[in-house]
Chains A and B, each alone.
Chain A
């Protein structure tokens, strides 16, 4: 999706729809096929497969104690898929544009900047992790459980150093509070259609699955 506003709008509606019912979740899954490239890279994402087992464990516990664990697993699984797919589409600066568009150049700029720095931090942490693994590989070492604490400490330290540099940079550029930013969005017809589909999916998710089949008949 090109337009960050429509993307946020759609993701909010689809998240609600997915959480509300299985029907909403399954329709959200179909909706994701509108963006096959992002969906394919999501399916290849390692982080998704790290999080899914945790959802599975919770679902299993729910099933054991008599709750509907299968429904929970499907809904949360699709919710994760949605989050990862939408995240693939974000480009640097979009959160700043969106926050300024929503809340103005004062608080909106600060919120947008904070989100941008956080997301950049996640990407940096990913790179730092790869670099630490590379350094260990070069030195003939392997990441082991006993090394995890020192690696974690190193990564936190790297993050703090980078944050310090970023703070210096912002100060040098005269940042105190708020800032000027001219948000620019380019909605496409496909984005509009996808957003309308998201509205429909939310409406359908309020209905029980049985009601949908009755309506179809």
Chain B
């Protein structure tokens, strides 16, 4: 089962995709329409492999991937250093095709354009990568664990920014348990198989590996309107009457 077509012309079709590596395998079958898709799953469940398959960095063992109407796409890889190709922060920002000053400013790195990207901590590098990517516009944006190496405040900023992506298909692969953007569709990677859970919030009670606080709320009969901090706070207030 997959979400119904949003009618905005873009569609990502995962047609019985299977990826095999020795005894390990991952499978995906479904259609992703414009909106924010959260794909959660435990470590080693195949999230990164699926993200790379979607972006054409890996060839599936079988099945087909169809990018219907999608002319531009971007993958935010899990490790920010994998993106680095510039000798300085300024050149690195330029390599994304964005205005370096703006990207550096957003990342809190104003005036450090001449520095070596590898002199930054992984968290700072992640902030720069996120800042550059947030200035890019793509039909399909795949975020593979964008919260890694970030502190709570930065995770919050990432979630808030992702919530603002109104056009195109946004796919968020994460095992994050606390900070989520305003999500339209919920998916789960269970034992290497992608499973469509449903539209948020209706799907929340069906979320097998939901974070404990969400399970607690649902257990108390309160279904949050969405997964953002505000929505969860509001649900908590409802529960307490």
Q: Which residues of A are interface residues toward B (Cβ below 8 A)?
A: 131-132, 134-141, 150-151, 153-154, 157-158, 161
Contact = CB atoms under 8 A, between A and B. Distances in A.
Interface of B: 55, 57, 74-75, 77, 82-87, 95-97, 116, 118
B118 A132 contact: no
Contact of A138 (B83, B86, B87): B83
Contact of A150 (B55, B57, B85): B85
A153 B87 contact: yes
Nearest to B94: A139
22 contacts: A131-B82, A134-B77, A134-B82, A135-B82, A135-B84, A136-B85, A137-B57, A138-B55, A138-B74, A138-B77, A138-B83, A139-B85, A139-B96, A140-B97, A141-B85, A150-B85, A150-B86, A151-B85, A153-B87, A154-B84, A154-B85, A158-B118
Contacts of A134: 57, 77, 82
A141 B97 CA distance: 10
A150 B118 CA distance: 14
Contacts of B116: 157
Given A134-B57, A138-B75, A140-B97, 10 more contacts: A134-B82, A135-B82, A136-B85, A138-B83, A139-B95, A150-B85, A150-B86, A150-B87, A153-B87, A154-B84
A135 B118 contact: no
A139 B129 CA distance: 12
A158 B84 CA distance: 10
A140 B86 CA distance: 14
Contact of A135 (B55, B85, B87, B97): B85
7 smallest beta-carbon distances between A and B, as pairs: A131-B82, A135-B83, A135-B85, A139-B95, A138-B75, A134-B57, A161-B118
A134 B79 CA distance: 13
Contacts of B97: 139-140
Contacts of A150: 85-87
Contacts of A137: 57
A135 B84 CA distance: 7
A169 to B, nearest CB: 17
A157 to B, nearest CB: 6
A152 B96 CA distance: 20
Contact of A132 (B55, B75, B85, B96): B85
Contact of B118 (A136, A140, A157): A157
Nearest to B96: A139
Nearest to B52: A134
Contacts of A140: 97
Contacts of A132: 85
A150 B94 CA distance: 14
A23 to B, nearest CB: 41
A151 B86 CA distance: 9
Contacts of B77: 134, 138
Contacts of A154: 84-85, 87
A97 to B, nearest CB: 25
A137 B72 CA distance: 12
A86 B57 CA distance: 30
A150 B82 CA distance: 15
